[in-house]
Amino acid sequence: MTTTYTARPIDPRALKELRTTDDAGRATAGFTDPEGGAPLRCCLRRSAPGERIALVSYAPLRRWASATGADPGPYDEQGPVFLHAEPCEGYLGEALPFTNSHRAVRRYSADGRILGGRLAEEPADFGAAFAEAFADPAVALVHVRAVEYGCFLYEVRRP
């Protein structure tokens, strides 16, 4: 049996808030992306040259924890993410995004603690990494992160 895993972009309500003030309390300022290529967390694609985007501080685990009542404690972190400066079409839910490079698949428990992780090196590795993570009943969700900087790319929850 093959299980399909779905990438979850930043929630629309959170995007609306982030387009005004980021999770570090800073006012959001958009800019025109001259070259394109920024990994956008609102629609899970790369920006095109000339698009208006913003770089904001985002706390994915904190936002998830506030919705679930979890307390991630010291695992609560915030980091930089790109998003469109204005509302966009959102994620169209096609293939898993950003699988063209090494990615860390980090596992979290229902109380927001890190349970481990795995390196996904090839696009075909992602399904196995998710299956391995969710075979552990203690895993509530996983974050896919860039290896180079540790930046949050998207979340995957149990199918």
pTM score? 0.91
Final residue of a domain: which of 84, 117, 139?
84
Establish if 80 belongs to a structural domain. yes
Residue 57 lies in a domain: yes
Backbone angles phi, psi at 147, to 5 degrees: -70, -40
Domain count, the chain: 2
Q: 3-state SS string over 102-124? A: CEEEEEEECCCCEEEEEEECCCC
62 and 18 inside one domain: yes
> Left (φ > 0), alpha (ψ -120 to 50) or beta: where does 47 sit?
beta
Residue 109 lies in a domain: yes
Cα(77)–Cα(91) distance, rounded to whole angstroms?
24
Please report whether residue 95 resides in a domain.
Answer: no
Do 18 and 79 sit in the same domain of this protein?
A: yes
| Any domain includes 149 | yes
Q: Give residue 24's identity as a one-letter amino acid code.
A: A
Does 135 share its domain with 72? no
Sheet of 45-46, strand order = 30-32, 52-58, 79-84, 39-40, 45-46
Residues 6+ apart with CB under 8 A from 109: 115, 138, 139, 140
Residues 111 and 145 in one domain: yes
Last residue of a domain, one of 34, 57, 84: 84
Provide the pLDDT for residue 149.
83
Q: What's the rounded Cα separation, in Å, for the pair 99 and 88?
A: 22
β-pair partners for 155: 8, 143
Could you give the residue ranges of the DSSP H alpha helices within 49-150? 60-68, 125-134
One domain for residues 18 and 77? yes
Please report, in tens digits, the pLDDT of each residue of the chain (159 residues total): 457 889 999 999 999 999 999 999 999 999 999 999 999 999 999 999 999 999 999 999 999 999 999 998 898 999 999 999 999 999 987 788 999 889 999 999 999 999 999 999 998 899 999 999 999 999 999 999 999 888 899 999 987
User: Which residues constitute the domain of residue 33?
Assistant: 12-84
